[in-house]
Amino acid sequence: MRYWLVLALALGVVSLSPTSAPAQSPAAPASPPPQGAVDQIFLMRSRNIARAAAETANGGLGNYMAEPAMHGPTANAPMVINEDGSLLFTFRGFRPEDRDINGNPTFSFETEVLVNSDRTFQILYNGPIRPVSP
């Protein structure tokens, strides 16, 4: 009986050891995805990065809230997918106390954030809402 216990333990250790793991090829360098084929997790994380950057730049959640499209489904987020795989988010924001009589937000900020495929970001614009060009 002792022999079987020792054999079982030995086989268990060998099967769990890292030397028995299959060989893995080295990771290929990241290349930008083609237009329209952006990873959904990257889209969601990028939206969150852009929103958090705007919140920080405008004094935190006590002073600023992004428009609802930056909180809901990623497909509704105001973004452009660039050829290099980066995402450009242009969205509005408001102060929490700035609401109309019906409780709807009164937007007064516009933020433009570029999120690169390596998750670095750059705030390109953060200020008053710019006029829409025709």
Q: Answer yes or no: is 79 within a domain.
A: yes
Query: Beta partners for 89?
Result: 79, 113
Q: Answer yes or no: is 24 within a domain.
A: no
Q: Answer yes or no: is 121 within a domain.
A: yes
- Predicted confidence (pLDDT) per residue in 27-37, tens digit: 444 444 444 56
- Predicted confidence (pLDDT) per residue in 7-60, tens digit: 444 444 444 444 444 444 444 444 444 445 678 999 999 999 999 999 999 999
Question: Which residues fall within 8 angstroms of residue 40, CB to CB, at 6 or more apart?
Answer: 74
Rounded Cα–Cα distance for residues 96 and 26 (Å): 49
Q: Answer yes or no: is 47 within a domain.
A: yes
In which domain, by residue range, is 98 found?
33-128
Q: Answer yes or no: is 72 within a domain.
A: yes
- 27: tokens are 């990771």
Q: Answer yes or no: is 22 within a domain.
A: no
Q: Is 59 exposed, middle or buried (0-12, 13-18, 19+ CB in 10 A)?
A: exposed
Q: Answer yes or no: is 134 within a domain.
A: no
Q: Answer yes or no: is 44 within a domain.
A: yes
* pLDDT recorded at residue 5: 46
